[in-house]
Amino acid sequence: MSLTGRRIAILLESGYAETEMAYLERRFAEEGARVDFLTRLWEQRSLTFTGQESRLPFTVDTDVGDVDDERLAGYDALIVPSGLVADRLRYTEDVDDPAPAVKLLRRAFGMKSVLKGISCHGMWLASPIPEVVRGRRVTCHNNMVGDVRNMGAQYTDQDVVVDDDLVTSRTADHCHLFARTIIDLIAARADERPFRAAKPEVVQRVSPGFTFSDLVAGYVTAHHRDRSLVDLRTSGGDAVRVTLTSTTSAEFPRNLGDPHLDATTHLAELLVPGRLVFAYGIHYPDGSFEAKRLVFAGRAAGEYAPEEPDWWVRQIGELARFYRRAQFGDSTPVDYADYRTMLRLGGDKSDHHVQETDTISRLVYGMASSYLLTGNEDHLDVAERGTEYLRAHMRFVDRDNDVVYWYHGIDVRGCQERKLFTSEFGDDYDAIPIYEQIFGLVGPTQTYRVTGDPRIGDDIDATLRLFGKFFRDREHGGFFSHIDPILLSPHHESLGPNRARKNWHSIGEHAPAYLINLLLATGEQRHADMLAECFDLVAAHFPDPANVWLRERFQADWAPDHTWGWQQDRAVVGHNLKVAWNLMRVNAVHPKKSYRDLAERIGRAMPAVGADRRRLGWYDVVERTLAQGQESHRFVWHDRKAWWQQEQAILAYLILAANTDDEEFLRQARESAAFYNAFFLDHDEGGVYFNVLAAGTPYLLGNERLKGSHSMSMYHSAELCYLATVYGRLLIRGEPLSLWYRPRADGFRDRVLRVAPDALPAGRVRLDTVEVDGRPHAAFDPESMTVKLPDSDEDLTVRVELVPARRGTR
Amino acid sequence: MSFQATVQSAQGVVTFRLSGELDSRSAPRFHEMITQAVLPAARRLVLQMADLSYMSSAGLRCLVYAHQRAGSGVAIELVGTRPEVAETIRLTGFDRSLTMLEAGARP
């Protein structure tokens, strides 16, 4: 009885092989598994099919269309049997739209945790979706060999072939070997299968013997109105029973700037199966969990608020309003002399008078991004003035070396500003970290995309020369993380633990911070080459064959460094996700199997180790290795969740879903976005919280209560709004997207405005319409998404509409 | 002309007299001098610049770095700076952090 509690789905149609079907049904039942038979019911309640040998009847009452992702993920295996089943099930009325059973199989191929078992002529079902078997080792009936080779699979002359999560069998006569292999694989995978929907007849109860409050997130599976009970299934597959009380309140999702939307009075209609809900409540020693606050993820079951067309656009507008008011009040134009890096929770300033380059740069990024999405000229003005301020106050023009570097910041107390040349942060003290130079470019580069200001272009180029001349490792490749402030050497002994080191920031952070945006703005090959150079190094050195977590720090010769400062042998969850996200973006520029494979590997591995499967959301920093007896990676400092790591997850899984059409990735993206929007938005003061506790309550102590600090400012929160809009509209949902540009009269030396919204897979998006100063403009190229600008003595306002070239993933 | 520097310290006022060319080769020596001289209890840093014919970026980095490490409240005065050196300083934005005085003037 090795499969007790397991579930197996078998597809069925007329022309099935009776002996095979009888054997599989009995054999799996013997092992304790429950077997469901699925077919296309053609809107009937049930259909009775006949076998191919003796016309034995077989009645099926479950439609493949009723198997949603959650249910599909609950199956340990999906089996396509021998005979004519696959051929009949691949029939489709619309030849451009695969049959429902084909779509089910495609979704199952997107879930590694679901074994795919295909026997004999069952491979027919994969023929409309050959990408799922391309390059994979399979066997099949001799008559099918040419077909599977045409599908790109690697035919292997064996009775049964196992290729990871795909099991194939030669003919119906090998059903005993086929069943044995599947049973063994399910049993072997039992421990690692994170999503197990099959067990939950037993509702999990948490009871340590005292009361405590906690959050649970789950999909409604049942609502027992008479008993005020709701059953949920968590993302991790646990069943949880929630008791509703007379003081349980409920809320609809709420964006920044929205009023509180009470849902308490509609609970009965809202608690329908499939709906994702967050329940915060109290566990009692008797095992019951009484909810006090429910937050829904969408207005209706299957709907997610962040997928409303303008959700993120409204959010970035509200973020921009918050930061503008906090930093500059109502004054127009804004005066950056008033800017302060330290903002309290409510946006008011303290007596700390430092202006850090990177926080201004991040604010500029957010404001420029808000302009791109909303066309709000005030926000662009804030971005442009910030860029000017950086140029006037934070820039060190080094004529001897023909480079530019950026001060860490300035202290503006008193009548003269004091330059803070080297970093004031503990990690980087007394050095010039490449991290700060990179983020000095984040805002100016995003502004450059909009205006083409040649002065910004020159400063970016001079900073790139700084990287090339002083940070680059000519011997082993890549860039060093620090140089000393006097000789600008990565090898100077004053650097201490930062001497001759490399890390994620020095190798990979170029891409998200400025390099992809710079390539989008200029189209220059040298930037595409640098992206490939950096991510070839990521693909070569970051994966650890022995560990699910990436390596993040290195010596000059790429030997892993497990001794550095706080990092030791620890993993930052958000860095792993950021690598996956940016590998897929760089893959759009330079398609490479190594990028895509690593991104998918990270995407599939992370939920089990970095996510909170019970409450949703993503953790912070964990120990990479498990000590003896440990089953989960230990948190280094706490189990809080930081806003920027949620961003990485949302963007990584959106872009992975868009590239693979994998429903499991889309589910991760939705769950991550649901948690972020439910718990990180500060509806009272504006902006977003830095950290929340595991259960979603904001954590407001120490530096983490601030809103302007080096990582907060307006970068990650705005980048999320901008790119979740781009990916969500154009790739996931197949909706058009409007963007705004404001090329200066002297902007873009070649007078070509490049409006590709991100590094997106080739051919997925095209430019549809262009307006210049409100009038239609015809000089543009839809495929390259470039606009030939008219010569003008004035700045121009350009609004473009981008459209998807195919239907969305969803 | 080779770089030369002398330093005097009295009542929290550290005075350097610089001459010649402060280039990238002489910068480390200047760095050592200025970090040692400025750090303890300095209130004001005065640089007599009239005889300094050239200041490299490396030399300026020493100055900016020393000013940062000296902490807030340490004023820098540059006396008699030649125009081409002043332009190098202006390009680094460091002119916003100091007072330029004519040679001979004593505020």
Q: Nearest CB to A413: which of B28, B72, B91? A: B72
Q: Determine the pLDDT at residue A195.
A: 41
Q: Which of A401, A417, A421 sits opposite B96 (nearest CB)?
A: A417
Residue closest to A483 by CA, chosen among A388, A387, A540, A401: A401
Cross-chain residue pair B57–A486, CB shorter than 8 Å: no
Contact A419 B27 (CB under 8 A): no
- Whether chain B has a CB inside 8 Å of the CB on A393: the answer is yes
CATH architecture of the domain with range A311-731: Alpha/alpha barrel (1.50)
Block residue for tokens 């125009």: B83
Q: Which residues of B touch A420 (CB under 8 A)?
A: 68
Res A111: pLDDT: 87
Query: What pLDDT does residue A268 have?
Result: 87
Q: Which residue type sits at B60?
A: L
Of the candidates A740, A761, A770, which has an alpha carbon nearest to the alpha carbon of residue A805? A761
Q: Residues 22-51, chain B: which have Cβ within 8 Å of A?
A: 24, 27-28, 31
- The CATH 3.40.50.880 domain(s) of chain A lie at 7-189
A485–B65 CB contact, under 8 Å: yes
CA distance A515 to A217: 37
Please provide residue A670's backbone torsions phi and psi, each rounded to the nearest 5 degrees.
Answer: -65, -45
* Shortest CA distance from B32: residue in chain A: A486
Residue A343 to residue A329: CA distance in whole angstroms: 13
Cβ atoms of A25 and A81 closer than 8 Å? no
Of B73, B91, B96, the CB nearest to A397: B91
| B67 vs A contacts (CB less than 8 Å) | 418-419
**Location of each CATH 1.50.10.10 domain in chain A:** 311-731
Q: Suggest the residue from B54, B60, B95, B96 to mutate for an interface test with chain A (most A CBs closer than 10 A).
A: B96
Distance CA B53, CA B82 (A): 7
N- to C-terminal Cα separation, chain B: 31
Q: Which residues of B touch A400 (CB under 8 A)?
A: 24, 56-58
Residues of CATH 2.40.50.140 domain(s) within chain A?
212-303
Nearest in space to A276 (alpha carbons), one of A243, A308, A315, A230: A230
Residues 6 or more apart whose CB falls under 8 angstroms from that of A465 comprise: A401, A402, A403, A404
**pLDDT tier, B39 (very low <50, low <70, confident <90, very high otherwise):** low
From the CA of A611, how many Å to the nearest CA of chain B?
A: 42
A493 at B interface, C-beta within 8 A = no
Burial A221-244, CB ≥16 within 10 A → b, else e? bebeeeebbbbbbbbbbbbbbbbb
Report yes or no: A611 and A619 within 8 Å, Cβ to Cβ. Answer: yes
Position A446 scores a pLDDT of 98
A585 Cβ partners below 8 Å, 6+ apart?
A511, A512, A516, A655, A758, A759
| C-beta neighbour count of A363 within 10 angstroms | 29
| Cβ pair B93:A420 closer than 8 A | no
Tell me the CB-side half-sphere exposure of residue A19, using CA atoms within 13 A.
7
Domains along the sequence of chain B with CATH:
4-101 (3.30.750.24)
- What's the mean per-residue pLDDT of chain B? 90
Is B97 within 8 Å of A417 when comparing Cβ atoms?
yes
Distance separating alpha carbons of residues A415 and A752, to the nearest angstrom: 43
pLDDT for res A654: 98
Query: Quick count: other Cβ atoms within 10 Å of Cβ A192?
Result: 9
Distance between CA A157 and CA A148 in Å, rounded? 12
- CA distance to partner chain B, nearest, from residue A798 (Å): 34
How many contacts, defined by CB atoms under 8 Å, are there between A and B?
A: 68
Q: A419 in contact with B at a CB cutoff of 8 Å?
A: yes
Side-by-side strand order, sheet with A798-804: A737-741, A798-804, A765-772, A775-776
Residues in chain A closer than 8 A to B68 (CB atoms): 418-422
What is the least distance, in Å, from the CA of A384 to any CA of chain B? 19
Q: Which residues from chain B sit within 8 angstroms of residue A431, using beta carbons?
A: none
Residues of chain A with pLDDT under 70: 1, 191-204, 710-711
d(CA A145, CA A124): 11
Reduced to 3 states (helix: H, G, I; strand: E, B; else coil), residue A192 is: coil
Contact flag A414-B72 (C-beta cutoff 8 Å): yes
Q: Please write down the long-range contacts of A373-379, taking CB distance under 8 Å and 24 or more positions apart.
A: A373/A312, A373/A313, A373/A316, A373/A317, A373/A721, A373/A722, A373/A725, A373/A739, A373/A740, A374/A313, A374/A316, A374/A317, A374/A320, A374/A740, A375/A740, A375/A797, A375/A799, A376/A317, A376/A320, A377/A742, A378/A324, A378/A332, A379/A320, A379/A324
What is the pLDDT at residue A701? 92
Residue in A closest to B94 by C-alpha: A419
CATH 3.40.30.10: does it fit domain A212-303? no
Nearest CA to A785 out of A805, A765, A771 is that of A765
Helical (H) or strand (E) element with A469? none
Chain A residues lying within 8 Å of B56, measured CB to CB? 400
Q: Report the pLDDT value the prediction gives residue A326, as an integer from 0 to 100.
A: 94
What's the confidence (pLDDT) of residue A6? 87
The sign of the torsion formed by the CA atoms of A210, A214, A216, A221 equals positive
User: Min CA distance, A437 vs chain B (Å)?
Assistant: 15
Q: Would you state the structure tokens that stand for residue A41, as one six-digit string?
A: 């019911």
For residues A373-385, one letter each, b for 16 or more C-beta atoms within 10 angstroms of the residue's C-beta and e for the rest, the string is bbbbebbbbbbbb
Three-state secondary structure of chain B: CCCEEEEEEECCEEEEEEEEEECCCCHHHHHHHHHHHHCCCCCEEEEEEEEEEEECHHHHHHHHHHHHHHCCCCEEEEECCCHHHHHHHHHCCHHHHCEEECCCCCC
pLDDT on residue A208: 82
Spatial contact of A221 and A276, defined as CB atoms under 8 Å apart: no
Q: With the C-alpha atoms ordered A160, A162, A167, A168, is the resulting torsion angle positive or negative?
A: negative
Residue whose pair of structure tokens reads 């000095």 in the numeric block:
A440
Residue B106 pLDDT greater than 70, yes or no: no
Q: Do B68 and A394 touch (CB under 8 A)?
A: no
Burial A564-589 (b: 16+ CB within 10 A, else e): beebebbbbbbbbbbbbbbbbbbbbb
CA distance A782 to A786: 7
Q: DSSP letters of A324-372?
A: HHHHHTT-SS--GGG--S-B-TTS-B-S--EEEHHHHHHHHHHHHHHHH
d(CA A467, CA A440): 13
- How far apart (Å, rounded) are the C-alpha atoms in residues A80 and A89? 10
In this structure, whether the domain defined by A7-189 belongs to CATH 3.90.550.10 is answered with: no
Query: Would you give the DSSP letter of residue A173?
Result: G
Among A394, A400, A424, most B C-beta atoms within 10 A, so best to mutate, is A400
For residue A169, the cross-strand partners are A119, A160
Residue A395 contacts B, CB cutoff 8 Å: yes
Helix, strand, or coil here: A53? coil
Q: What is the pLDDT of residue A197?
A: 43
Sign of torsion, CA A563 A564 A568 A572? Answer: negative
C-alpha span between A646 and A660 (Å, rounded): 21
Is the CB of A396 less than 8 angstroms away from the CB of B64?
Answer: yes
Reported ipTM = 0.93
Residue window 151-180, chain A: list those with CB within 8 Å of chain B: none
Separation of alpha carbons A48 and A499, rounded Å? 73
**Least CA distance to B66: which residue of chain A?**
A421
Q: Is the peptide bond before A333 cis (omega within 30 degrees of 0)?
A: yes
Any A CB within 8 A of B98 CB: yes
At B55, list the tokens. Answer: 């200041």
